[in-house]
Amino acid sequence: MTPLKTVWIIDDDPISRFGLKKLSEMTNFCLSIFCFENGQEALNYLRYIIDAAELLPNVILLDLNMPILDGWQFLDAIKTFTLSENIKICLVSSSIDRLDHLKAKQYTAVSDFLVKPFGKSDLQRVFQEADSLND
Amino acid sequence: MIKTIHALTLNGANNKDYRILNYPFMSENYSLYKQATALVGIGVWEYNVVSEELFWDDMTRMIYETDEGYHPSLIDTMGFFSQIPSVYGVENELEKIVATAPHLDCQVEIKTQKGNYKWISSNAKTEWVNGQCTKLIGTVQDITDVRASIEKLRLSGNNFYNAFNHSPIGMALVSTAGRWIKVNDCFCQMLGYTMEELGDLTFQDITYADDLDKDVLHLKQMLNKELKTYSTEKRYLKKDGEIIWVLITASLVSDKDDTPLYFVTQVMEITDKIRKTEMLIKKGNGISNIINSRKIGAWEWHIEADVFVCDERCAIMLGYSEKELLNTMTKWLSNVHPEDLTGLTKRLEYCFLNKTDYNCEHRMRHQNGNWIWIESHGEVIEWSAEGKPLIMLGTEADITAKKQIELDQKNVMDLLSVQNERLTNFAYIVSHNLRSHAGNFQMMLDLYADEQVEEEKDVIINLLRKNASNLSETLSNLNEVVDIQLSSQKQLKTLNLCEQVNKALINLKGMIDKEGARFSIHIDQTLQIEYRPAYLESILLNLFSNALKYRHPFRTPEISVEATLDEDGGMLKISDNGMGIDLNLHGGKIFGMYKTFHPHKDARGIGLFLTKSQVEAMGGKIEVESVYGTGTTFKIYLIKRK
């Protein structure tokens, strides 16, 4: 099993960001981890690297509630991009609102929904599934 | 009969000469007499008792339709009488005359020589000589016509009595004193009395007390010749006490001297009809009461001529004392609320085009200047051959009260849905924010347990501390929100808006100076509002500081503050020339909790949420207009709750 090259963490909460980064590192799956404070920052970077396939992330851990551009708006924005199906987007939120989970199902790009708090093993499973896509 | 004739002749000698007709009476006066009697159709005869000779003149012969030279004996004349009893009658009369009476007068039916039946009237007079009846002189008159009239009368009299007795309607002859002279079967059945029982009663006895005066008055008027006949509806009391309604027609019969004899009364039972009428009247009253209580007016519109006829209720509804003030549709429409006029006209046109009913709810100006809500219904009842509407009938109902209730209900519903939305939002916020802090605690503690490196452990501890302080801040924010949700209309104060704005600006002086911002205030210095002071202060501070925080990086912040006052309450408008917000992107959540839209270090996502909560808690609303990169305008409607 080859470790994933890149994981993006898009979350406005510094504590949450720190925790996700730490957990991701502990899975030993990632070569590099990128953090963004909101959807807009991530979107700006994505636009910049869109043509450089090797720089695209394998997994995006996306928070829902964020200022400026929230998780949903980010998902709406990347609909216009032709992104590889190999990019796995996993929603990461403390929301247990049924409506959020229903809404998540509307986005084909979204493959998982992790509800905070979660442990290392949950993240490991997500990474493993993403890894199998790359094989 | 022969015997009788002999008896008549007992006292007279048998003088054959008498037949020679040279009688002195005849010779002297005959020609004159003959002329006279011929003139009036009277025949003359003479019988000599002594000679038993009978003389007939020409007229008599004409009446008897005999040959010209016919000379009957007395016995011969008897042969003319059509009926034996009549002959006896004549014999008796003759006997009487000859014996005592000076005069004879009888009417008999004869069969003429030609075989015709005739009625004749015969008069005879006796002449006496020395106490002896010597002569009978008489006349004969054809009275067939008269007898026919009399017979006719008799027959018709029978008809009347037949009609009276067997009539299907009640009939009665009533004396001028009110006593029953004669009543028919139908009348008896109607009242349940026998004829004998009625004989002991007067009409007053069986007339319903309330109707008696009127009845007696009518009878008096007839007796005084003021009325020839009268007809009235009245009540009778039946023998069993039941009341029946009758239509009676009475007329007075008088004799030839105009002396009142009796009343002829026709009586028809109309109880059913009266009951139906009473029911209809009751129904009619009911409908009228309904119409009155529902405040429904009716109108008729002659469309081509524009003649509008409305009833008083329509006029009263609009406060007009005279319905003539609304005598054209044009005048009527001039009172319709301008905003409702187009809709009303369209509905009318639709109704004319599709031949459907017309229904419309619209406002109209009452004469006192208020607007009232009217519900109109109409229907075209007459169309021209070309399909043009000619006459329309309709009703108008005042539904102002109903509309007010609808409006109140809508307001309550709006308020409830706003509150419900806020509660849902709040529940979501509470759940989400508290859960995210709880999640952070758990994640950090898990990491801490696994962490081997001391420096990393310190980082985690710091983050735990930060998380704790975030949690308490969130709790205090939520507390503030709960406080607004629960706050009532207590603590309202009359505030001078201009003063409050200036106070807020003083509080923000440091920030204003730092940003070099320019505020321009356009508020009437006397403008007062009823508001909760803490809210107004919070609202102003929030909006002003937002305008400064989210200033455009290359422009001097210019902020304009205006206030206007209208019938719906006051409106405060705060416009800036800052960065603006992309409302297409963020419009739905601009007033949401923990929603921030600018990468600003102080953006907490709580200010506008609180501002909106406060404005709404005071019964007002807040709106935003913004162009990204140009500026933002907030409008706060300071509606006072009723």
Largest CA distance in chain A: 38
Q: Distance (Å, rounded) from C-alpha B92 to C-alpha B86?
A: 10
Residue in chain A lying closest to B587 (CA): A68
Summarised one tens digit per residue, pLDDT across range B114-146 is: 888 888 888 777 777 777 778 888 888 888 877
Residue in chain B lying closest to A41 (CA): B599
Residue in chain B lying closest to A17 (CA): B440
Asked whether residue B14 carries a pLDDT value surpassing 60, the answer given is no
Interface confidence: ipTM more than 0.85: no
**Chain A residues with CB-CB distance to B594 below 8 A:** 65
Asked whether residue B102 carries a pLDDT value surpassing 80, the answer given is no
Q: Which of B442, B443, B444 to mutate to test the interface with A (most CBs of A within 10 A)?
A: B443
Position B531, amino acid: Y
pLDDT at site B341: 92
By Cβ distance, the residue of B446, B447, B603 closest to A67 is: B603
Closest to B378 in 3D by CA, of B398, B341, B351: B351
What is the average pLDDT across B382-397?
89
Closest to A69 in 3D by CA, of B478, B584, B626: B584
Closest to B264 in 3D by CA, of B132, B189, B163: B163
**Chain B residues with CB-CB distance to A37 below 8 A:** 599
Beta bridge partners of B70: none
| E strands present in A13-80 | 30-36, 59-62
**How far apart are the CA of A67 and the nearest CA of chain B, in angstroms?**
4
What is the average pLDDT across B504-528?
89
Q: Distance (Å, rounded) from C-alpha B188 to C-alpha B640?
A: 83
CB–CB of A134/A58 below 8 Å? yes
Q: Indicate yes or no: CB of B436 within 8 angstroms of CB of A16.
A: yes
Q: Indicate yes or no: CB of A117 within 8 angstroms of CB of B442.
A: yes
Asked whether residue B305 carries a pLDDT value surpassing 90, the answer given is no
Q: Which of B425, B428, B453, B585 to mutate to test the interface with A (most CBs of A within 10 A)?
A: B585
CB pairs A-B closer than 8 Å:
72
pLDDT at site B7: 35
Mean pLDDT over all residues of chain B? 80
Of the listed ranges A109-113, B261-265, B474-478, B591-595, the one predicted with least confidence: B591-595
Q: Distance (Å, rounded) from C-alpha B501 to C-alpha B519?
A: 11
Residue A55: which pLDDT band, with cuts at 50, 70 and 90? Answer: confident
**How far apart are the CA of A56 and the nearest CA of chain B, in angstroms?**
25
Task: Give the count of alpha carbons within 13 A of A76, CB side only.
Answer: 9
What is the average pLDDT across B200-226?
85
Asked whether residue B20 carries a pLDDT value surpassing 60, the answer given is no
3-state secondary structure B10-61: CCCCCCHHHHHCCCHHHHHHHHHHHHHHHHHCEEEEEEECCCCEEEECHHHH
pLDDT at site B32: 63
- Residue B76, SS3? helix
What is the average pLDDT across B504-531?
89
Residue in chain A lying closest to B428 (CA): A97
Summarised one tens digit per residue, pLDDT across range B412-430 is: 888 788 778 777 777 777 7
pLDDT at site B2: 36
Position B516, amino acid: G
Q: Indicate yes or no: CB of A19 within 8 angstroms of CB of B440.
A: yes
Q: Distance (Å, rounded) from C-alpha B45 to C-alpha B149?
A: 27
User: What H or E segment, with its residue span, contains residue A4?
Assistant: strand A4-10
Asked whether residue B488 carries a pLDDT value surpassing 60, the answer given is no
Closest to B104 in 3D by CA, of B127, B74, B75, B131: B127
Q: Calculate the alpha carbon distances from B85 to B32, B92, B384, B497 in Å.
A: 36, 10, 83, 134
pLDDT at site B562: 92
Round the CA-based radius of gyration of chain A to a whole number and report it: 14
- Parallel, antiparallel or unpaired: strands B243-254 and B260-269: antiparallel
Q: Indicate yes or no: CB of A97 within 8 angstroms of CB of B431.
A: yes
